[in-house]
Amino acid sequence: MFDFLNYGFNQRALLAVLMIGFSNGALGSLVVLRKNSLVISALSHSLLPGIALAMLVFGGMSPFVGLAGAMFSAMVVGLATVYVSRKGLLDHQTALTVLFTSAFAGGLLMLEHLPGNVKLADWLFGNILGLRNMDLWMSYIVSFLIVLLLAWYRRGWILYLFEPSIAASMGVPVTRLNYLQTGLMVLALVTSLQAVGAVLSSALFIIPTATMLQWVKSPRALIWSSGALGSIAGMVSICLSNWWDVQTGATLILLLGCCFMVSLVVAPKR
């Protein structure tokens, strides 16, 4: 039944999804509670042209090339959003949507001209079975960093999420946490692109938290239980995709979606 674990690529996929599922799920609590759900999907789409550009410039793909490109485009889209929403008489969300769809379209065009065997489908939907050891190290580092920083500022995060002005009045470093959250979001997105791809990566942040919000009564419980749900769902989906011979990324998101629907109906209310 678990014979598939004899293969190296399956072992790597299982480890990766364990870490990515946890760190993205936990970080997702911050995203949802700050009402940044749209921002994360915008960011995930705008990473694509940056990564494609970096691959064109450096002539190949490595985690660090990907990271540099992703950081670059996240920064450009972030700054451009501020500029456009100030200049163009639009709200932030509209500006963001204009920019990230344009950026994504630009990325698609660039991908056609990339050297090597990069497939468009891998970028859109991820290719977790194609992970190399180097990619795995990237996941280790990013996941460790996310969990460490969540734990390091733990009460600060909760106040910052609850009401930034109350937090600031109590001495929480709100500005620092804001930058930190954005930085961690970009890092986490880069790692999850390989697992589930640009289209579905925001789901890996949002759905575990949306599900656990139906159950828990405290932000701390929300953060850690969302991480646990992301991890467990990730590992289950590796097994399912092997048994049923279906795509891992899509299985994972669909599984999380089912958890959410069940919770919505079953969880005690009021």
Partner 1 sequence: MSPHPITRLGDSHTPEKHHLLSVENLHIHYGKICALKNVTFEIGCGHCVGLLGQNGAGKSTLIKTIAGLNQKLTGSATWSGRPLSESKAEIAYLPQVGNIDPLFPLTVKGLVELGRYPHLGPRGRWRKEDSEVVQTALSSLKLDDLAGRRLFQLSGGQLQRAQIARALAQEAHVLLLDEPFAGLDEPSQDFLSDLFRELADNGRLLLVCHHDLKAVPRLFDTVLMLNREMVAFGPTQDVFTRENLAKTFPGQEVVVHV
**In the complex, which residues of this chain contact partner 1 (CB under 8 A)?**
33, 152-156, 158-159, 161-163, 165-166, 168-172, 213, 216-219, 221-222, 270
C-beta closer to partner 1: residue 53 or 158: 158
Residue 27 Cβ, how far from partner 1 at the closest point, in Å?
A: 16
Residue 260 Cβ, how far from partner 1 at the closest point, in Å?
A: 16
C-beta closer to partner 1: residue 133 or 165: 165
Residue 198 · residue 45 · CB < 8 Å: yes
Residue 171 Cβ, how far from partner 1 at the closest point, in Å?
A: 4
C-beta closer to partner 1: residue 17 or 32: 32
Residue 234 Cβ, how far from partner 1 at the closest point, in Å?
A: 23
Distance CA 82, CA 129 (A): 38
C-beta closer to partner 1: residue 129 or 228: 228
- The tokens of 186 are what? 């970009």
Residue 155 Cβ, how far from partner 1 at the closest point, in Å?
A: 5
Distance CA 241, CA 187 (A): 26
C-beta closer to partner 1: residue 156 or 183: 156
How far, in Å, are 33, 41, 122, 225, 262 from residue 258 at the CA level?
Answer: 21, 20, 24, 17, 6
C-beta closer to partner 1: residue 132 or 154: 154
**HSE, side-chain direction, 13 A CA sphere, residue 239:** 10
Distance CA 232, CA 265 (A): 21
Using left for φ > 0, alpha for ψ between -120 and 50, and beta otherwise, residue 171 falls in left
Residue 182 · residue 78 · CB < 8 Å: yes
Residue 12 Cβ, how far from partner 1 at the closest point, in Å?
A: 34
3-class DSSP state of 29:
helix
